[in-house]
Structure 1
């Protein structure tokens, strides 16, 4: 096997944690084909227990401790250098020394980067084949934050949007392929960085359908509760915004019709704004749970009321894989190949959400069951990880910059 360097911004484990699913399956896929040398950050104390599981997949590995609070303070120095806050957030001298030593020691000729700020560690090795999985157009996410937040947060987010886009464009112009999580994300980046369009493509997330499957799970809800469940990292601002909007604009009208309805917010590290929602009637905030599947399996409906979203929402695919009816916004549906009305439910504003939820919950159970079964069939047919990751193999061995591949050749089938 040849050697390959993999750079990941957050340790890619546990494998069913929303923001680590893609990176974990990427690591496993690459480890079947290469001797993988992994460099990653650990920003959650609970994740140190998982180091042996990740080391077992790798030829060598480096885990750098990252304090989110300290990193945020350090990133403010980027303003003095007119560069991206995200760049300095993940800037670490020890990480750079390990990468440079590993590259020299093993003569590594292939680098895969997961998340744009990690590309800084690959820049010193232009002779290597460098593939960057941006996942999302993060700069556009910061732009959306700036539009929704009051000053001075809007000014900070606007600064980061412009500086990160500049760095994203630089990375795409100097690497061999720039990959994203969906066709809309890739198309957006092509508009923002047209000079790199020939090197820009995408591969979608998959789903572990053996793990996320209908089955017998203990019911975590109180007797009589009809749960509307939302799953996600609850310190992530788009998720915070989503549950706040649902709690204020949708849930009261639903509970006025059916007081047994309960909005259950499942996810680690709930922000103070999320924790405060638990004081409202009909809302439960769980915090970290050992397994999200029982909460999805026994919910009346899975909801994804995201108003700001980039890329593909794993929470939607996972609920679909569990044959659960899912109600989503257009933003949460972006990049997912599913038919509204047959495989999931779609609503945009508050009134549409209220009407769609009430109709679904008041209808015959067989209707929601059929929706869930159709959703499961869609995921099984279209979202296996092996199929989704296959285009990456081609890019690693035949980089677009050297091979002249057109953007369309990088894109996975719908």
Structure 2
């Protein structure tokens, strides 16, 4: 520890409040580093006054420096990406002011630079001081983003399939270069590291840096739910979440309702698309919450959690949260991916419509079996998924510098 004291974290967004995937992950990494005694500076991007207010709160809460760099208008950013032949997600989070700051930090500005996404690699590789850098470089890719864009391309029609395929190729270049030239790169689960080695680069091993869970924020309900309610949570303008909900509603929900009269389905989470909002207009048994301050009451009133994912990769935080609340989970294989304890002994894993429907019905009609699965998942989660346990690889990587 004596050698390494100052760490600069570069984040696409203000990592506060920790109420969505990438914010949650980066926030807990920063908190963990401060607890270890590191001096942490955060450089992040913002689009509005709320971002600035959130940054101020983050700085106050963790007693750290947080600097927000305003983003230009979206049209300007996307045009910049096309003009410079970069990935759209590079342009979406590009600020020339942040570029100057990253350039300055590379030489004697910090001991280590930690990037929170593969698209941020451009800031480092494009920096004038890159070849003369004096700091160690780390990248938390979280998921294999190039594969996510590939999936989007395969599930989309023209012209978006072309856009997504272009994005996949350009992000893959950044992932490959980071793996080769950074001290360490991280992904959220072993399945992701295998995929990376197979489809991106096997130059050197990528470390697994898992997500943990705040057990003070998610815990079992004091009493069982009275009514039959199925729950899904997530940011509801994120393509994999929208796809999961729409597949469930279109292919499973009518039969579930028929077999379980009075059942309801809650879609909880911010920024619901028009398509998602219209679900509650068409069906009174469906509730679309939009943004809520606290999702815990929704977990506590649910009978089971559904995670019918068919797109994207990585660990689904929402599945961990459901397990922490001792909710039976019905998921596809993709929703269970990367969760170390996931098996047919801890959750219902079903990929076909009929088996997914049957599992939902079993959660209500075979409550003893469903609760046994939920209890086993809770025990496994509690023993291995604290943030301190999951973030040990980051601690070890920094100690080697």
User: Which stretches in structure 1 are left out of the alignment for 5+ residues?
Assistant: 400-414
1:19, distance to aligned residue in structure 2 (A): 3.3
Tell me what 2:24 maps to: 21
Tell me what 1:83 maps to: 86
Conserved? CA contact 2:106–2:134, under 8 Å = no
Kindly provide the CA deviation profile for residues 114-151 of structure 1, in whole angstroms up to 9, marking residues without a partner as x.
11122233333433110100000101100000001111
Tell me what 1:120 maps to: 122
Conserved? CA contact 2:229–2:264, under 8 Å = yes
Tell me what 1:141 maps to: 148
CA 1:73–1:239 in 2, change beyond 3 Å: closer, same or farther? Answer: farther
Query: What TM-score results when the alignment is normalised by the length of structure 2?
Result: 0.91
Conserved? CA contact 2:6–2:39, under 8 Å = yes
> Counterpart of 1:196 in 2: which secondary structure?
coil
Conserved? CA contact 1:131–1:175, under 8 Å = yes
1:352, distance to aligned residue in structure 2 (A): 1.0
Tell me what 1:375 maps to: 377
> Counterpart of 2:312 in 1: which secondary structure?
coil
Kindly provide the CA deviation profile for residues 375-410 of structure 1, in whole angstroms up to 9, marking residues without a partner as x.
2111111111111111111212325xxxxxxxxxxx
Conserved? CA contact 2:7–2:41, under 8 Å = yes
Q: How does 1:117-266 map to 2 (within 5 A)?
A: 117-123=119-125, 124=127, 125=130, 126-198=133-205, 200-216=206-222, 225-266=227-268
Conserved? CA contact 1:38–1:58, under 8 Å = no
2:303 matched to 1:269?
Answer: no
The whole-number CA distance in structure 2 between the counterparts of 1:393 and 1:280 is 50
User: Which stretches in structure 2 are left out of the alignment for 5+ residues?
Assistant: none
Conserved? CA contact 1:303–1:327, under 8 Å = yes
Q: How does 1:1-16 map to 2 (within 5 A)?
A: 2-16=5-19
Kindly provide the CA deviation profile for residues 342-397 of structure 1, in whole angstroms up to 9, marking residues without a partner as x.
3211110111111111122111x333333222221111111111111111112123
Conserved? CA contact 1:71–1:90, under 8 Å = no
Tell me what 1:64 maps to: 69
1:73, distance to aligned residue in structure 2 (A): 5.3
> Counterpart of 1:163 in 2: which secondary structure?
helix
- The range that moved more, 122-131 or 383-392, is 122-131
2:61 matched to 1:54?
Answer: no
The whole-number CA distance in structure 2 between the counterparts of 1:308 and 1:207 is 23
2:45 matched to 1:41?
Answer: yes
> Counterpart of 2:140 in 1: which secondary structure?
strand
- The range that moved more, 56-65 or 308-317, is 56-65
The whole-number CA distance in structure 1 between the counterparts of 2:237 and 2:48 is 12
Conserved? CA contact 1:324–1:375, under 8 Å = no
Q: How does 1:356-371 map to 2 (within 5 A)?
A: 356-363=359-366, 365-371=367-373
The whole-number CA distance in structure 2 between the counterparts of 1:395 and 1:102 is 20
Conserved? CA contact 2:55–2:67, under 8 Å = no
The whole-number CA distance in structure 2 between the counterparts of 1:274 and 1:143 is 24
> Counterpart of 1:98 in 2: which secondary structure?
helix
Tell me what 1:305 maps to: 308
- The range that moved more, 159-168 or 370-379, is 370-379
Tell me what 2:109 maps to: 107
The whole-number CA distance in structure 1 between the counterparts of 2:49 and 2:233 is 21
Query: What TM-score results when the alignment is normalised by the length of structure 1?
Result: 0.88
Kindly provide the CA deviation profile for residues 4-62 of structure 1, in whole angstroms up to 9, marking residues without a partner as x.
11111111111243332111110101112311111012346544432233112254221
Tell me what 2:329 maps to: 326
The whole-number CA distance in structure 2 between the counterparts of 1:269 and 1:300 is 24
The whole-number CA distance in structure 2 between the counterparts of 1:82 and 1:16 is 33
2:77 matched to 1:74?
Answer: yes
